[in-house]
Every structure is written in C-alpha cells, then in structure tokens.
A and B are shown apart, each in its own frame.
Chain A
C-alpha cells in the first residue's frame, strides 16, 4: 500500500486548491468544470426562458403568463350543431380538444360514422363494412359501460342481468326495441304473488308454467294452474300474454321456451326443484331490483346507435 499522505500533498503549481482548510490541514482541489459542460448548462437556462415564453408559466397577480403557444381544433357547438374551427392557447385541455378532433376528423372514421348515422338499422346490418365498424367500436363501448353487469361477452348473470347473446328478449329483440332499451333504460316489474295466492295455488301455477316449456307433463295440478294463469286470480296472461310468449312492452318473459332469465330452472335436476325455483320466484316477484340504467345523456346518440346494433348482432338477430 502506498502512503496516502503522499498523494494528498499536491506538488506546488500542479493543481490548485480551493484555499479552504478543515481540521487544520484537510484541503480541497479546485477542478473547474469543463467548458463544454458549462455551455450546456447555460444552454438549458436559455431553453427554460424560451419555455416560459411558449408555454403557460409564472403566476402573476390573479392570473399567470399564458404563453404564446397555440393549439388548433374543431368543435361542434351543442346549441347550433355547427362545427367551428378554433385556435386557443396551449394547455392540456386544448391539447385534448385537438386530440379528440383529430380522431373525429380521421377521414376513414368520419366517413364510416357519417354512413352509420345516416343509415337505417336494416341497411347497417346488410353492409359488411359498416358491421365491421360497429363490431370494433361496439366492443370497446360495451366493455367500458355494459360488461360489469352483462358480462364481457354479454352472457349475463342468471337472475340478475339478462343474457344478451341468446335469442330470448324481455323487452324485444328488434333493433329499435333494443335502441329504446338503451336510451330510456328498463325496470323489470312483476308483482309478488306470495301475498295474493295461497301456497297450493302457487304450486299449481308453477307446475303449469313448467308445462309451457315442456319441463313438466300436463296434470291435474297444472290444469288448476292454467286457470289461475289465464283467469282473474293470477292474471299472469295480462303481462305474459295469452300464449305465454311474453309481452315486450311489459318486459315480461317468454315462458314457453327453454331459456330462463331469472328463475334458474335449467340447473335444477328434479322436477321438484324446478317447481320450487319457479314458485320461489313467483312468490317474491320483481320490484326495484332489476334495473337497466338509461344511457341517454351519459353516452352520445351515435354511441347508443352503434351499441344497439352491436347488441343486436350479439344475439340471434330478430
């Protein structure tokens, strides 16, 4: 090992020290910064001044230096529906406006959207290009707004949120019915029959409901149930229809098919369990628990139209 004190002592005239001395004899070399480094530093100082001039910067009184930089964007006036060109000073919000109008002005997208806007539902379904557009945009919209309830693929949750991929609709599967569902929202309502019918009557009507879809064979009980269903005591036909195929204006389910939206019949093994599930549902009914939010106001009209077509093509198109 070499003697450290030997290196610590600079040879006179070789490297300058700062002249400070600590603890008696501890000194510091004075190594000036390289010139190129210093110029870079002055360069950054100059850059910051230009930065202040271009971008919003220093606060001044009740306002601030707003900068000379500007951003161009186009905007649709919500009152007059006119598209205006705007120039505004640079800030993150005007930058967003520019970003949004760039996307809106993307020629391909703009042309597609205009086409979809002008087209009727029938025309959209028949046009392959428009449908491709609907699928790509619709998937994103559905994921952000609908998937939390209806599932990412629209498969729903039995009892809570209807499956949108099957050919069974509460409120109707025609495109304008779906559109209506999205615009104004829906609220499922069926009275609780537990207070109206006796337990035996509930048994009978449940048995009858199961015969409608072939789950149970007609019996004496189901014959009694039929009278309740189609008579004044139950009045089920009033909402579900005389053919029990459902009435879309009431959001009432089709009871003649094998698809169940709420009463979880298919997973029950025995007839007894199936009956219990139907009876349980009819006893409680639906009130204020099955609510489809309204999307008008939250989503714009174009997005709602796209979504209606998207949902329509998810399920068997009706």
Chain B
C-alpha cells in the first residue's frame, strides 16, 4: 500500500490510526486476562451480600468515587496510613471496580471495621459534626429515604452475567457451597436475595433504626465490608510479592 494512497483516503487512515493506537492498550491489558498470577491466590474474598450490593449501588449513585479511591498502592506511606496494599483478588467480583483515581478524601479500601456504624451514620448525615475541618458533603436523605430493594434479585442477575458467582440453579448453589462455604453460599442465592437482605438489615441494624431499612442501612453495610474479607494476619507481609 502506498503512502500516498493512505494519506489521500481518510476512511482508511482512520482505521489504521485506530489499529496503531490500540496496540498500547492491547499489550498492557489483554495479557492480564490469561496470565495465571494476575489474581492472587488468597482466601476469604466473596461477592457482596444483597444488602451490600444495594449499598454499593448507592455509593455509585451518590458519586462517592469522585472523592474517594479504593486502592491502596504498594508504597510505604500508604501502607502505614491505610494498611495492606489492595490485591487484584479483592476486587475480582467488583463490576465496575471502584479503584478510582481521585483522593479528595481518604482511600476507603480498608475502611471496614475502622469506625462504628453509629459514626458512619453521623458522619454521612453531617461530616462536620465529627470532623470539623471536613469538606465532605452532607447526605441527610440517606437516613430518611427507605431503601428500594424490590429489584435486588435483578441486580444480582445482572452481576451474574458479568461473571460474579451468584447462583440461580441448584448446581451453582452447590458449587458455591464448595467454594465459599454454606453461610456465604446462602447469601449468593438469587432466589433468596430479598429475604437475605431483610435478614441482614434486621440482624445488624447498620442505620441504628430498628424495624426500618433505609438507604443508610445498605450504604453502611457496604462500607463496613470494605477490605475486611482477607485476613492479612495469617499471611506474611511479603506473601504477595510473588504474584507480580
């Protein structure tokens, strides 16, 4: 093909430009799909419970990711401040992942268990009542809006289509029991989604209002789960160097 031919034929030129600029992405991203060690072999990571699924949706709806990342990088300052660096394995069921790139507020990847439910509720309604210098917006409606969980099963079905092992059939359920154990497998059963959501809300009462499931309930449930699935205490600090 002659140079002149390409330069005078803009349709062809566009196609060839697209081919050339996609090389960078293809070389950097595609191999990760088939390299064995991309996702670290680690115990404990499970898909979100139905309540956490709804909480995560609210996290997206409210745009929390615009100010908060969920990815601790392997640097000393981040290790000291936030804890163990994030593993690829920890976001394997997160679609789309919430790594983020903007840290107006702190990273949230290891937030779970750091604060009490009550602190989260207070902080989300009025951040400045607990952190006077905070520039985070108030989210008072989370506590006054009832959670819409009517479509939670559909949302899990959609996630299942992206490869998250929520189960529809008995065979899938049994595979989950093998992989995650009975308790988790029960939570992943789509046919029980709504019942599971209500039970978790009742048992743990994240929003502090008994007998009511607010949006706050789901969001705090999600926040309290962040970064808690892997028990890093059982791994040496260099257990994951071999995966990179």
Pairwise interchain contact A97-B208, C-beta atoms closer than 8 A: no
Stretch from A6-14, A205-213, A247-255, A288-296 that touches the partner = A288-296
CA of A302 to CA of B74 in the docked complex: distance in angstroms? 22
A94 contact set on B, CB distance < 8 A: 238, 241
CA of A99 to CA of B73 in the docked complex: distance in angstroms? 13
Pairwise interchain contact A93-B115, C-beta atoms closer than 8 A: no
How distant is B145 from chain A, measured CB to nearest CB, in Å?
A: 21
0/1 interface trace, chain A 274-296, chain B, CB 8 Å (1 if under): 00000000000000111111000
Pairwise interchain contact B238-A88, C-beta atoms closer than 8 A: yes
B74 contact set on A, CB distance < 8 A: 92-93, 95-96
Pairwise interchain contact A78-B234, C-beta atoms closer than 8 A: yes
CA of A298 to CA of B37 in the docked complex: distance in angstroms? 27
Pairwise interchain contact B236-A77, C-beta atoms closer than 8 A: yes
Q: Which residue of B is nearest A95, CB measured? A: B74
A interface bracket (residues with beta carbon within 8 Å of B): 35 or more
Pairwise interchain contact A20-B4, C-beta atoms closer than 8 A: yes
0/1 interface trace, chain B 104-132, chain A, CB 8 Å (1 if under): 00000000011111110011000001111
Our pick among B81, B114, B122 for the contact of A293 (Cβ within 8 Å) is: B114
A298 contact set on B, CB distance < 8 A: 83, 113-114
Given A97-B237, A160-B130; A290-B118 close (CB under 8 Å)? yes
B211 contact set on A, CB distance < 8 A: none
A317 in the interface (beta carbon within 8 A): no
Pairwise interchain contact A62-B244, C-beta atoms closer than 8 A: no
Stretch from B28-36, B60-68, B90-98, B177-185 that touches the partner = B28-36
0/1 interface trace, chain B 73-88, chain A, CB 8 Å (1 if under): 1111001110101000
A42 in the interface (beta carbon within 8 A): no
Q: Which residue of A is nearest B118, CB measured? A: A289
A86 contact set on B, CB distance < 8 A: 238
B240 in the interface (beta carbon within 8 A): yes
Given A93-B85, A148-B123, A149-B130; A63-B238 close (CB under 8 Å)? no
Interface size on B, residues (CB 8 A): 42
CA of A63 to CA of B34 in the docked complex: distance in angstroms? 8
Pairwise interchain contact B35-A62, C-beta atoms closer than 8 A: yes
CA of A293 to CA of B120 in the docked complex: distance in angstroms? 13
Pairwise interchain contact A96-B130, C-beta atoms closer than 8 A: no
Chain B, interface SS category? loop
0/1 interface trace, chain B 43-83, chain A, CB 8 Å (1 if under): 00000000000000000000000000000011110011101
Pairwise interchain contact B241-A88, C-beta atoms closer than 8 A: yes
How distant is B60 from chain A, measured CB to nearest CB, in Å?
A: 23
B24 in the interface (beta carbon within 8 A): no
How distant is B91 from chain A, measured CB to nearest CB, in Å?
A: 17
Pairwise interchain contact A75-B237, C-beta atoms closer than 8 A: yes
B233 in the interface (beta carbon within 8 A): yes
CA of A112 to CA of B116 in the docked complex: distance in angstroms? 33
Our pick among B35, B116, B130, B233 for the contact of A157 (Cβ within 8 Å) is: B130
0/1 interface trace, chain A 177-204, chain B, CB 8 Å (1 if under): 0000000000000000000000000000
Residues of A whose CB lies within 8 Å of any CB of B are 20, 56, 59, 62-64, 73, 75-78, 86, 88, 91-97, 99-100, 103, 140, 144-145, 147-149, 151, 157, 160-161, 288-293, 297-298
12 additional contacts (CB under 8 A) given A148-B119, A149-B115, A291-B118: A62-B35, A75-B238, A92-B73, A93-B240, A93-B241, A96-B79, A100-B237, A148-B130, A289-B208, A291-B117, A293-B113, A297-B233
Residues of B whose CB lies within 8 Å of any CB of A are 4, 27, 31, 34-37, 73-76, 79-81, 83, 85, 113-119, 122-123, 129-132, 205, 208, 233-238, 240-244
Q: List 5 A-B contacts (CB under 8 A).
A: A20-B4, A78-B234, A144-B81, A149-B130, A161-B130
